[in-house]
Structure 1
């Protein structure tokens, strides 16, 4: 009887709804079920060599002239932001109208329609919660906009292509302000309506993607090829991680880890729903080139500057 009770409790703590393509239960915060067990429990992809997230070492970034500006369609359209959901007791997911929102340019191989965005966080604004890091720095939260190459009907089909998904990652940095910015105050006001696993709320015509991304220069970013950061960890993602952070006040960030539950209000809260950084292995992270490296890519910066100076004499 005691064994059955333990099994029942564990089952209540383990969200069973799965990410696209996964066929096994996975979770974040149990000793026997967390991100360190994914490569063992779900080895097909989670034990791969091109996993995400990664630590971005700025000293090792390689310039790439193809990483030009993006084209963002529908990012100012409030009718394209449809519904907010407590997604499987693991995160907050906001569904998008993919007939109105898409991304192209930015060195991407085609047009990608935007399906949803979701957020990863720690345990309050003073706790680290982003998935990617920059020179070892981890931010309070990270927002991911998930986009599917337009030639595919769904995520499952897209993941068979190593560039089938394009995910846009945005760091969220805590500030000492209160209730700012207004767009994030609006977004977090909906959290109390979706406390339990599976709760949803229609939010059409109340918010836009660009309002949530205010302050971010979307022409400056890092690029690498990686994977989903949740099981099934498929290595079919072109990652774009933007350099500028979204500034959100501490009180609003705190609402994510104090309002949303893995199952119901009688159980644990959703906290620390991020995967630690994975090995980069032989991958290279790229970014925009500087003017000096564009003119003289094979030369050192000092040599390039000298030649540039002499050209004006």
Structure 2
């Protein structure tokens, strides 16, 4: 798509392929002058706002919300939906073909899925997820970016809407044991990093893996919800955040590839590491309400256990 110059600031945040320096915003993760601790000064309109992301999710403070139903994921099973992978100089981003969509999950309407990108630290030993849970930071985090389908790609209108974007956040955790190259879908994805080692490189993806494959093992019915922002400048406060409770399990060797393969510019520049923004002030968080049926089953289970213990006394 072709974007007007007036929208470049926003596009930098939504699609990091644009060189933000052309819009007067030079932000980064690796240099003191432009790293995240200075974004509120570099891009103050939103990065210094009141509903910024990412946040620490305090699980005991998350309030139950019965409206948080399950999502419908359209074409997440398609093995041709992932079209290109690119090194933006800030992250690794995978773009989608048209027709990928999410709905349900208490969203106001269907949202078209545009891309996913990743945040990481420096291997499993230095975690780099953006969100944290009760203070725990995971090795990586995957963000699937979606925009309201009713806007038909009109970002001018979309960015005047405080819920125009929906971001799905998935933690990535090191697989237990000594597994290597697992799961197979992530081994395939990581193998493409060799084609995008420098900023601006794009590689056309062959068919073969789907979003469902990459989300293997995750219960997508369990999640946290809050209203926040984009996590890169211009930090627009237009995002409905869904952060899933169960992480994707990926072997250590594949996690390490991200911080050992791609560079922020050419091959003489630093490797891309610690690509995450620091934690922002708390926002109200909701999660699924515990159903009365589950509560009843749990109570009956305790009663049966108590009777069994009593008989053995």
| TM exceeding 0.5 | yes
1:241 pairs with one of 226, 240, 243 = 243
- Tell me the CA shift for residue 293 of structure 1: 10
Q: How does 1:45-124 map to 2 (within 5 A)?
A: 45-87=46-88, 89-97=89-97, 99-124=98-123
- Tell me the CA shift for residue 144 of structure 1: 0.2
Unpaired runs of 5+ in structure 1?
A: 1-14, 307-313
Aligned residue for 1:209?
211
- Tell me the CA shift for residue 196 of structure 1: 0.5
Aligned residue for 1:35?
36
3-state SS in 1 of match to 2:80: helix
In the TM superposition, what whole-angstrom CA distance separates every residue of 1:148-205 from its partner, at most 9, and x where no partner exists?
A: 0011114454222100000000000012421000000000000001100010111141
2:255 pairs with one of 246, 253, 256 = 253
Change (3 A) 1:240 1:212: same
Change (3 A) 1:16 1:28: farther
Aligned residue for 1:221?
223
3-state SS in 2 of match to 1:66: coil
Aligned residue for 2:180?
178
- Which whole-Å CA distance do the structure 2 matches of 1:227 and 1:278 have between them? 10
Change (3 A) 1:77 1:22: farther
- Which whole-Å CA distance do the structure 1 matches of 2:293 and 2:161 have between them? 32
Q: TM-score with structure 2 length normalisation?
A: 0.85
Change (3 A) 1:245 1:41: same
Change (3 A) 1:110 1:76: same
Change (3 A) 1:154 1:215: farther
Aligned residue for 2:137?
138
Change (3 A) 1:54 1:271: same
Aligned residue for 1:263?
265
- The CA RMSD over aligned residues, in Å, is 2.3
**Is the contact between residue 125 and residue 251 of structure 1 (CA under 8 Å) also seen in structure 2?**
no
Change (3 A) 1:22 1:151: farther
- Tell me the CA shift for residue 124 of structure 1: 1.0
Unpaired runs of 5+ in structure 2?
A: 1-16, 304-313
The number of equivalent residue pairs is 281
- Which whole-Å CA distance do the structure 2 matches of 1:263 and 1:196 have between them? 5
**Is the contact between residue 148 and residue 155 of structure 1 (CA under 8 Å) also seen in structure 2?**
no
- Tell me the CA shift for residue 276 of structure 1: 1.0
- Which whole-Å CA distance do the structure 2 matches of 1:259 and 1:249 have between them? 16
3-state SS in 2 of match to 1:222: strand
**Is the contact between residue 80 and residue 204 of structure 1 (CA under 8 Å) also seen in structure 2?**
no
Change (3 A) 1:46 1:67: same
1:187 pairs with one of 168, 186, 189 = 189
Change (3 A) 1:219 1:251: same
Change (3 A) 1:295 1:173: closer
Q: TM-score with structure 1 length normalisation?
A: 0.85
- Tell me the CA shift for residue 125 of structure 1: 1.7
- Which whole-Å CA distance do the structure 1 matches of 2:93 and 2:265 have between them? 15
Change (3 A) 1:65 1:196: same
- Tell me the CA shift for residue 146 of structure 1: 0.1
Aligned residue for 2:201?
199
- Which whole-Å CA distance do the structure 1 matches of 2:29 and 2:287 have between them? 31
**Is the contact between residue 65 and residue 294 of structure 1 (CA under 8 Å) also seen in structure 2?**
no
Aligned residue for 2:124?
125
